[in-house]
Structure 1
Amino acid sequence: MIEPGTALSLVAAHGIALVAPLALIEGPIITIIAAWLAQQSILDIRAVLATVVAADLAGDAILYAAGRAGGHRIARLLRLDEARVADLSGQLNRNSGRLLIGAKLTHAAGAAVLFSSGAARVPFAWFMLCNLVATVPKSLAFIALGWWTGESYDRIGGWILPVSVGLVVVALIGGLALRRSRCP
């Protein structure tokens, strides 16, 4: 993970051209920093939005391609449990849209679901459409966060993952409660 202070210095010095490759590595914090720099009139906010959305979708496509190529070695490299990938692949064959959008919005489950989408051979156009539907509001949320509170980028970076994991837990509990209420 790139240090937020280092990312700020690099983006401020080199501009929007550096946002895309850095966003592939650490999207949320780079988006927050880039939006804050746009608020300071250093970057153009429209360019920030277009760049972070494109970088996010490119990262999704890379994970999809890795899953499509398969291989236990790739799953291990990404630190994905092979049994979990197989389970997610089966779920994706039944509910790809909801699962993809949910995983993208919570951020924490993203890599495993994106990789599993490729392994499950979810049609690529559908995969990208679902990711676009989730990426735009998520990117806008991080841009808004950066615009209004970007000077606190170092503290914000520390709570993105815990909040994302919390959202996954709440979604799972809600899903289980909903399933129980529907089943006799």
Structure 2
Amino acid sequence: MFEHIDFTHLLATYGYLAIFVGCLLEGETILILGGMAAHQHVLKLLPVIGYASLAGMLGDQLLFWTGRYSGARLLPKLHKQQATIDRVTQLINQHPTVSIFSVRFLYGMRLLGPMVIGASGVSPLKFASINFLGAVTWATLFASAGYWSGEFLEGILGDLKPYRLSIALGVVGLMLVLALVRHFRVKTRAALKHP
């Protein structure tokens, strides 16, 4: 079924769009794949970082403004996420600048974090400027990780072109496994705290 798909053409045609859309939400997996595609000269590394930074920043800005205008009404309804909300609130109270910068790097806080920060009354200008720095740092780290993973795999496998689809599926699978492991660790910790 997949042998007739020109994966290189798909990447070259829709790669930047996929990176932008993927990074509006979570983005790490698509960003690593974008970095690998840049290593293979299908995409260019700087535009990958640029589109990812822009999308990551825009997504967080939307969530921030949602929290600012609707957080008092929305956040109390998110009972299952209360532990995450409490963690972000504690971070903001103790280290507001660090929390804005690092929230995108902390598992489980990428979507809720900016909403909680918006609801906390942090200045929009402060959030936007620190969010921009965080987004660029995040995009650079993950795209570079993908780029150097491509370098590493090329050293082992040689020409990666015949393996592109398998590598993409492998990266997606690995990220899903890591997400499941983290999810169950968080659930286990919560169950141990509140038996």
TM-score (norm 2): 0.65
Structure 1: distance between partners of 2:79 and 2:172: 22
How far is 1:125 from its partner? 1.6
Structure 1: distance between partners of 2:73 and 2:11: 34
Q: Aligned residues, how many?
A: 163
Correspondence for 1:135 = 135
Q: Does residue 51 of the first structure (1) align with residue 51 of the second (2)?
A: yes
Amino acid at match of 2:137: P
How far is 1:107 from its partner? 4.1
Correspondence for 1:179 = none
| Bigger mean CA offset, 72-81 vs 91-100 | 72-81
The superposition leaves residues 27-74 of structure 1 with CA deviations (integer Å, 9 ceiling, x where unpaired) of 111111222222221212111111100000011101101111225774
Structure 2: distance between partners of 1:50 and 1:14: 15
* 1:72/1:121 CA distance change after superposition, 3 Å: closer
* 1:26/1:104 CA distance change after superposition, 3 Å: closer
Q: Structure 1 regions of 5+ residues with no counterpart? A: 1-6, 170-184
The superposition leaves residues 111-134 of structure 1 with CA deviations (integer Å, 9 ceiling, x where unpaired) of 222110111121112112222332
On the 8 A contact 2:60/2:114 being kept in 1, the answer is yes
Amino acid at match of 1:105: F
| Bigger mean CA offset, 31-40 vs 14-23 | 14-23
Structure 2: distance between partners of 1:79 and 1:158: 29
Correspondence for 2:160 = none
SS of residue in 1 equivalent to 2:129: helix
What's the C-alpha RMSD, in Å, of the aligned pairs?
A: 3.6
Correspondence for 1:121 = 121
Q: Does residue 24 of the first structure (1) align with residue 61 of the second (2)?
A: no
| Bigger mean CA offset, 146-155 vs 69-78 | 69-78
Amino acid at match of 1:57: M
SS of residue in 2 equivalent to 1:110: coil
Q: Structure 2 regions of 5+ residues with no counterpart? A: 1-6, 151-163, 187-195
SS of residue in 1 equivalent to 2:27: helix
Structure 1: distance between partners of 2:144 and 2:91: 33
Correspondence for 2:97 = 97
Structure 1: distance between partners of 2:76 and 2:9: 33
